[in-house]
Amino acid sequence: MTVLSLGKDLLGLEYLTKEQIELILDTAEPFKEVSERTIKKVPTLRGKTIVNLFFEASTRTRISFEFAEKRLSADTVNVAALGSSVQKGESLVDTARNLEAMRIDMVVMRHPSSGAAKFLAERIRSNVVNGGDGMHEHPTQGLLDMLTIRDRLGKVGGLKVCICGDILHSRVARSNVWGLLKVGADVAVCGPQSLMPGGIEELGVIVFRRIEEAIEWADVLNVLRLQLERMEAGYIPSIGEYYRVFGVTLERLERAPRELLILHPGPMNRGVEIDSRVADGPHSVILHQVTNGVAIRMAVLYLLAGGKPELAEAAKGMQEAET
Ligand code: CP
């Protein structure tokens, strides 16, 4: 019998099978409860050293990886470009090799360049987890989005999920498309032509040009941040125009033929891609996504460290005080 594992690194959902994605989602389940305890800690990764290497801004991903690591009892170090020797021109590989010389076990990295995580993974022995690389992938975001949909709707396969907004520049969109298609969801994208990658239909997704059509079709909307820096590059005429044409507003949702689940990876631009009444309304699971982010990251770190899925339940049962 082949034992299912993730291999050495988590670089993107494009490279995982349906079974590996389901393994991560299932392994996250017992870890959810750890965060609800008074003492939020299990000894599962005691003795492991994890470096969080963030070359780009992050609130949710960086903090939730750090919580996941601490709740699994790993030793963690945070390295940001600002204040490290990267500022003096040290290369990514030299930085990582110096960290490895201090006997680390894993690196979680966010980097502005697409492919940076793979580049690093091929050059160091430690496990590498992609925390977002340029416009390529953000696999743990895709996984926590799927876990949240499964929590609320009982399944992911067979549901209609539409990803809305700036698809062209979004690593979240790419991880969602790969992951959702693999687990059997119907996937659509909706956004301005100028923010839509050419040939995206070839991945097997439906393309909607009007948000009203997407709302009529979908069970779930995953609303992406409009990357405001793109405005200067002329991708959209104005924020007001974008909200008028593509904004996910309460009025539009009230015309939907069924209740929609609303996701957003954050950070949100209220009144740009999403109406505050929607973001804070009963259909929104945006903060549930953030909560699930910790459990997903605990599951990924646990599995990459060689943890067995059936032992995650047992690990959950272990109190820090008992060991
Ligand atoms: N969703 C997400 O990646 O958010 P951060 O950029 O704050 O990590």
153-208 pLDDT, tens digit per residue, is 999 999 999 999 999 999 999 999 999 999 999 999 999 999 999 999 999 999 99
Report the residue among 52, 53, 54, 59 best suited for mutation to probe ligand 1: largest number of ligand atoms under 8 A from its CB: 59
pTM of the model: 0.94
Q: Which atom belonging to ligand 1 lies closest to the Cα atom of 62?
A: 8
Spatial separation of the C-alpha atoms in residues 259 and 218, rounded to whole Å: 9
59 Cβ inside 6 Å of ligand 1: yes
The answer to whether the CB of 141 is under 6 A from ligand 1 is: yes
For 86-125, give the DSSP string: GGGT--HHHHHHHHHHT---EEEEEESSTTHHHHHHTT-S
Whether 292 is in the pocket of ligand 1, judged by its Cβ within 6 Å, is: no
Closest CA to 25 of 139, 162, 128, 108: 139
Residue nearest to atom 4 of ligand 1 (CA): 60
Query: Which pLDDT tens digit goes with each residue over 119-151?
Result: 999 999 999 999 999 999 999 999 999 999 999
Output the six-digit token pair for 78.
């945070």
Q: Ligand 1 in contact with 61 (CB < 6 A)? A: yes
